């Protein structure tokens, strides 16, 4: 969807959110949403699984009616769950995520609502985000932490045939994860599915689509050092970007 205008806000100064409490994640996420509203964003996607798990529902139900009932805040968990039944054959699914995402049971709860016949097993992988953020995701030292969690979740439920990568950092670990996966176990990465879900949402809600800018602009905001963020972003985007440093509270 390259024709749309995008504002990306990374709260890198206070990341990672994965080990923080519900109250802290909600407060930080609400502050970020408010800042994006100030930037003129009509639709905000919480691209973080932890924020989607711990803050989305409260923001949608409690805050949006007061902030601006015409705007929308969406998450990444529901689009993922909607697609999972068509992928899994055994109906046994594993979720790899941060401690916050797994302890919230958000995937289990959402899958239970849509597909009560499915079995869900969660595996917290607290070292995986630091490996990516410190550019160690392709190092030999990463093998231990990846193999350990893959073997553990498959030992808990050997019938798992689909693993959800429940964190935006994890796609950078795909090559290593696949090295330790037995044949027949699929990896589900969220990016493309969330993008497709956004397109579908805007098709169903033309009133929102008409409010979105379509000048193909891109802005990147970070609460950390702009130079540090730009260096890390190149791991994901494979190109240099201009970054603005901001503060939120």
Q: How far apart are CA 191 and CA 195, in angstroms?
A: 6
Q: What are phi and psi of 143, to 5 degrees?
A: -55, -45
Q: Whose structure tokens read 């039944």?
A: 85
Closest CA to 68 of 99, 32, 43, 97: 43
Catalytic residue among 41, 48, 125, 175: 48
188 has which bridge partners?
164
C-alpha 82: how far from its chain's center?
A: 15
Dihedral of CA atoms 31, 34, 39, 45 in degrees, nearest 10, equals 90
Is there a catalytic annotation at residue 34?
no
Is there a catalytic annotation at residue 125?
no
Catalytic residue among 34, 41, 167, 175: 167
* Cβ within 8 Å of residue 10, ≥6 positions away: 220, 221, 222, 223, 224, 229
Radius of gyration from C-alpha coordinates of the chain: 18
Q: How far apart are CA 33 and CA 39, in angstroms?
A: 10
* Cβ within 8 Å of residue 221, ≥6 positions away: 7, 8, 9, 10, 35, 39, 243, 244, 245, 246
Q: How far apart are CA 78 and CA 56, in angstroms?
A: 11
| Active-site residue list | 48, 167
């Amino acid at each position: 969807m390259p024709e749309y205008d995008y504002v990306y806000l990374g709260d890198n100064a206070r990341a990672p959110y994965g080990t923080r409490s519900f109250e802290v994640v909600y407060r930080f996420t609400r502050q970020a949403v408010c800042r994006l509203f100030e930037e003129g964003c009509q639709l905000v996607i919480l691209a973080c699984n932890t924020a989607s798990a711990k803050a989305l529902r409260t923001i949608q139900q409690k805050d949006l009616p007061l902030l601006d009932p015409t705007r929308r805040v969406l998450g990444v968990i529901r689009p993922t769950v909607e697609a999972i039944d068509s992928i899994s054959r055994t109906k046994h699914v594993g979720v790899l995520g941060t401690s916050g995402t797994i302890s919230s049971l958000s995937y289990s709860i959402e899958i239970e609502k849509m597909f009560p016949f499915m079995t869900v097993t969660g595996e917290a992988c607290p070292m995986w985000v630091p490996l990516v953020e410190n550019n160690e995701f392709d190092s030999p030292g990463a093998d231990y932490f990846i193999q350990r969690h893959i073997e553990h979740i498959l030992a808990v439920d050997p019938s798992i045939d689909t693993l959800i990568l429940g964190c935006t950092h994890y796609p950078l670990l795909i090559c290593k994860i696949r090295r330790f996966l037995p044949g027949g176990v699929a990896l589900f990465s969220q990016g493309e599915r969330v993008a497709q879900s956004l397109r579908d949402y805007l098709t169903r809600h033309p009133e929102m689509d008409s409010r979105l800018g379509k000048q193909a602009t891109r802005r990147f905001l970070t609460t950390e050092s702009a130079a540090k963020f730009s260096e890390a972003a190149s791991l994901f985007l494979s190109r240099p970007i201009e970054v603005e440093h901001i503060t939120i509270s």
